[in-house]
Structure formats: C-alpha cells, structure tokens
Structure 1
C-alpha cells in the first residue's frame, strides 16, 4: 500500500494541472483513461462545462470555513478521478475550495484512476472502482488516516433507490443525480468530509 501511495503522489497533479490535462486531451478529441469512446468524450465535454461553472460558483459555508481553519495537523488529500466521471466533476471543485480555505493545512493532489490500478484496488466500493475516491494522508507520518467517496450519502441512496425501482442506472438516474448536486451546492460533501477531518484531529 505504501508503495502504491508513494507512486501515486509522485505522479500526482495539482487541481489546476489536472484541469489543464483534461482540457488539453479534449482538444485532441480524447478523454482521460485507458478506454476511449464517443460516450466518454461526450461526458468529458459536459464535465468541462460543469467544472468551469462550479469553479466560479462553488462556495464553502462560513461554518465549514471556520472548521477548516481549526485544523492543526497537515494533510494530503489524494484523489483518484477521471475526466469523464460526472461525480468527479461535481466534487473536485468542492475539494479544491476546501483545500484553499484550509490555511495550507490541506494539499490537494489528483491522480487518474486507470494509471493507478494498484492504489484503486485498495479502495474499492462494493468491489467496484468507483470514483472519485478521496484518500486522507497525514503529512507528518505519511500514513493513511481515512478515506471518503465516491459520493455523499444522500446521493448514494438516491442511486440505490432508483436502481431498486427500475433495475438499472440509466440516463434519467444520472440526470436526477446531477440535479441533486445542483441543489445541494456541495454542502453535504463539505459536511461529511469535515466530520472525518475533525475526528482525525481528536
């Protein structure tokens, strides 16, 4: 595990580097990841628009800014993501704004899932390589302190309930999920991750 983390960190990107990587690939008509398809390219293009919007509009609540400022220890947030992933597009701007608000106590680093299979296999969700996955690393000890993802609890339940009812996760389910993210404004994500961070401080 330590070797997988070290390798991922060595090849990791800052948020702005990740955004540039995805944008540059789109100019070549490509998405990130091992698999290339029209669908994945289409999702990547949609996500580029989402990221632009959220970078401008996403805000951390005042209560959560205060909690971020209260963090004493320093952490690395290592996130597994891909440009075509709708959840990653909704959540990476939240992670980024939280890291920026943390008084430099959080260093956000992003890696591509398909390039870090060994690391991803340590953080499966129901045996699936679900992303984004946020791995919390204590900067002083280098040890993994916790993890979160691939989406907030309410969003997980929304998809589970839809699948129970309809037997599939189709385009309607994905549209419902994006609508939920739009109304939630990243608050559920902030709250859940800060619960983890504050428990690590105790």
Structure 2
C-alpha cells in the first residue's frame, strides 16, 4: 500500500492545478477520464460553475475552525476525483477550505481513471464511487482512514431512491444538488473533522 500511495502522490495535483487541468480540457471540448462524451463534458462545465461559486461562498464555522486548531498531527488528504463528478464538485471546494485553514492539512488530488489500482483499494460497496478521500500520514505514508463518496445525509438520499426506483432518477439527482445547496458543506466538514480527530 505504501508504494501505491507514494506512486499516487507522485501523480497528484494541488487544488489549483486540478482546477486548471479541468478548465484546460474543457477549452478543448474534453472532460477528464477515459470515457469522453457530450454528457460528461456538459457535467464538467456545470461543475466548473458550481466550484467557482463554492470557492467564493463556502465558510468554515467558528467551532470547526477551533477543532482544526486542535489538530496535533499532519495529514495529507489524498482525494480521488474526476472533473465530471457532481459530488466531487460539491465536496472538493469544502475540503480545500479546510486544508487552507490548517497548516496540518495538505490536499492532493488524483484522477480516478489514471489511478485505478488506488481506486480499487477504496471501493464503496464494490463500486468505484468518487470522490474518495484517503487520510495519509505524511511521515510514514500510512493510511489512517478514508471517507466518501458523499456525506451521510446525501448518501441516504441516494440509497432511498435506489431502493424505491431500482435506479437514480433525474429528479433525485436534482434533489441531491438541492441537498448540497442547503447543507453549505457543513456535513462534509463535520464528518471529516471526526475522521481527523479519531484517526489512530
């Protein structure tokens, strides 16, 4: 695992580099990932707008800031993502805000389709669901936990739809975006703080 994490970190982007990479591909009419389609490029374009908005509007509540100051160990937040992923667009700006607010946290992002071996070690119910955050201790390159692909409330919304309809209808996808809008990143922050505070 250590060799795999080191290799993945070598392929990783900073948040700014990731955003620039996705934007550059969109200028060429492309999305990240092995599969190219009009739909994926369309989702990537929507996500670009979402992330620009979230970068400006996401704020960290005082209580979370205090807990960030209480962190005693450094961590690399290694996130598996793709530009077309709607959940990643909602969650990456939040993770970036947390990393910017603490000198103990360092965000690195890898693309799923370029790092399949890593992805396959962090499946969710057997699926390559993203975003997936891997908590890495920089000194030892040891994995101290993982999180994702979405906060509990959002995950429940998707589970309920799958149970009811056997798939995820378009209206559920719209409901999911509304859920994120109302949540303002708070659930993601809370769950990530628990992961950090409970890490061995």
- For normalisation by structure 2, the TM-score amounts to 0.98
Distance of 2:4 and 2:139 partners within structure 1: 18
CA RMSD of aligned residues (A): 0.8
Report how many aligned residue pairs link the two structures.
200
Q: Is the 8 A contact 2:78 2:135 kept in 1?
A: yes
Alignment partner of 1:98: what SS? helix
Counterpart for residue 124 of structure 2: 125
Structure 1 residue runs of 5 or longer lacking an equivalent are none
Counterpart for residue 189 of structure 2: 190
Distance of 1:44 and 1:87 partners within structure 2: 11
Alignment partner of 2:71: what SS? coil
Counterpart for residue 62 of structure 2: 62
Alignment partner of 1:72: what SS? coil
Q: Is the 8 A contact 2:5 2:141 kept in 1?
A: no
Q: Deviations over 1:124-154 (max 9, x none)?
A: 0011000000000012221000000000011
Structure 2 residue runs of 5 or longer lacking an equivalent are none
Distance of 1:130 and 1:96 partners within structure 2: 20
Q: Deviations over 1:103-138 (max 9, x none)?
A: x10010000000000000000001100000000001
Q: Is the 8 A contact 2:119 2:128 kept in 1?
A: yes
Give runs of ≥4 in structure 1 deviating > 6 Å: none
Task: Please tell me whether residue 3 in structure 1 is matched to residue 3 in structure 2.
Answer: yes
